[in-house]
Amino acid sequence: MNKIFSGIQPTGEIHIGNYVGAIRNWIGLVDDYDCIYSVVDYHAITVDYEADQFQERVLETALNLLACGLDPQKCRIMVQSQVPEHTELAWVFNCVTPIGEVERMTQFKEKSKQHRANINMGLMDYPVLQAADILVYKAGFVPVGEDQVQHVELTREIARKFNSRFQPIFPEPQVILSCAAKILGVDGKSKMSKTLNNYIGLLEAEESIWEKLRTAVTDVKRVRRKDPGCPEDCNIFTMHTAFSPDTMIPELDKGCRRADIGCVDCKKKLFENMTAELGPIRERASALRSQPDYIRDVLKSGAESCRDEAQQTMEEVRSVLGLYR
Ligand code: AQP
């Protein structure tokens, strides 16, 4: 069975961008692939964080994944740091990755601007660890949002470099993109992000979601109600493509271009469709809050099963590297 790996950072509240860009796609793949989904905690420590709240953050992230509908009987859900082979392989990959390749990564450049006081080696090395996360399981497919495509390209490059320098043991994984691979924040400018305050939380209360949608930026050229709009320049329309039925999209597209529908009515329709999908997730999340032992058990069995495979890969890697044994 083809293998899939993907991860999410426990850096804050999971938002609807993470959900439609990645997690919802993950759920759809579990019947056809051998899927490993990880809470990537070592990635999250590349920026400032609260150590005393970190375990809770990790558990909350896992709870969100389960609430979204990931079935631990059909896939493995694990915490990255529970399988140390990820970081061991990352060191090996550091030794085949040219510095120039990581320096040119868009995420590194953006995060360096956001975290000027803490531009550490880990921040730059992030995509190398990500390559190790994927390749320690020899995964062939990586379902991610658009922002991660460049990192998966680098993963392929690292696999190629390792394979040609030593022995061809790693696959070159492919990206699987969702239908909504890039959702902008409610500011309509930057990517919706946990650490920029521009997101709609997956478990956010309905009143608060409506308040954010009501004031969200639309096509900036549509100043008056009677101005025709461009759906391709409107983040609300992008969100419709993620949350509204396919049959509604052409009607909204036409209505916007002809100014038959105003932005507020368009937002109301989106709100209805969004809350219809998020409501059951919120209910499952509140039920899961009373089952912390269940969440810990899911993570424990996920890590145990992943550890076996990761150890096998590292044995092979140590052997082809010619390390002392
Ligand atoms: N706005 C987005 N639209 C579509 N997909 C998105 N993803 C993130 N933001 C969007 C996808 O969600 C998955 C998990 O992301 P992550 O936790 O690894 O970190 P990130 O990409 O850096 O997400 P954030 O929310 O912006 O986190 P912070 O603020 O901590 O950096 C990935 O597959 C990502 O593509």
The answer as to whether 192 is a domain residue is no
> How many A from CA of 46 to the centre of ligand 1?
15
130 and 229 housed in the same domain:
no
> How many A from CA of 277 to the centre of ligand 1?
20
Give the ligand 1 atom nearest the CA of 185: 1
What pTM does this model have?
0.96
Question: 218-227: per-residue pLDDT in tens?
Answer: 999 888 888 8
CATH code at position 107: 3.40.50.620
Amino acid at residue number 259: A
Q: Residue of the nearest CA to atom 20 in ligand 1? A: 193
Name the domain count of the chain.
Answer: 2
Q: Residue of the nearest CA to atom 26 in ligand 1? A: 193
Give the ligand 1 atom nearest the CA of 18: 12
Ligand 1 neighbours, Cβ below 6 Å, are: 8-9, 11, 17-18, 21-22, 144-145, 147-148, 181-183, 191-195
Q: Residue of the nearest CA to atom 34 in ligand 1? A: 145
155 and 274 housed in the same domain:
no
The answer as to whether 248 is a domain residue is yes
> How many A from CA of 147 to the centre of ligand 1?
7
For residue 34, what are the β-bridge partners? 3
128 and 275 housed in the same domain:
no
272 and 295 housed in the same domain:
no
pLDDT at residue 1 in the model: 63
pLDDT at residue 226 in the model: 87
**Which residue range is the domain that position 70 belongs to?**
3-182+291-321
Question: 29-76: per-residue pLDDT in tens?
Answer: 999 999 999 999 999 999 999 999 999 999 999 999 999 999 999 999
> How many A from CA of 151 to the centre of ligand 1?
13
Q: Is the dihedral of CA 236, 238, 242, 247 positive or negative?
A: positive
170 and 30 housed in the same domain:
yes
Give the ligand 1 atom nearest the CA of 147: 35
CATH code at position 236: 1.10.240.10
Backbone phi and psi for residue 226, each to the nearest 5 degrees, phi listed first: -85, -5
19 and 161 housed in the same domain:
yes
- Using CA atoms, how far apart are residues 177 and 166, in angstroms rounded to an integer? 31
pLDDT at residue 270 in the model: 98
Active site residues: 111, 191, 194
35 and 65 housed in the same domain:
yes
The list of the chain residues with pLDDT below 70 reads 1
- Using CA atoms, how far apart are residues 312 and 325, in angstroms rounded to an integer? 15
248 and 311 housed in the same domain:
no
> 3-state SS of the chain?
CCEEEEEECCCCCCEHHHHHHHHHHHHHHCCCCEEEEEECHHHHCCCCCCHHHHHHHHHHHHHHHHHHCCCCCCCEEEEHHHCCHHHHHHHHHHCCCCHHHHHCCHHHHHHHHHCHHHCCHHHHHHHHHHHHHHHCCCCCEEECCHHHHHHHHHHHHHHHHHHHHCCCCCCCCEEECCCCCCCECCCCCCECCCCCCCCCECCCCHHHHHHHHHCCCCCCCCCCCCCCCCHHHCHHHHHHHHHCCCCHHHHHHHHHHCCCCCHHHHHHHHHHHHHHHHHHHHHHHHHHCCCHHHHHHHHHHHHHHHHHHHHHHHHHHHHHHCCCC
215 and 174 housed in the same domain:
no
pLDDT at residue 223 in the model: 86
The answer as to whether 189 is a domain residue is no
The answer as to whether 142 is a domain residue is yes
242 and 310 housed in the same domain:
no
pLDDT at residue 210 in the model: 98
The answer as to whether 193 is a domain residue is no
134 and 226 housed in the same domain:
no
The answer as to whether 197 is a domain residue is no
The answer as to whether 196 is a domain residue is no
Give the ligand 1 atom nearest the CA of 11: 30
The answer as to whether 199 is a domain residue is no
96 and 139 housed in the same domain:
yes
pLDDT at residue 179 in the model: 85
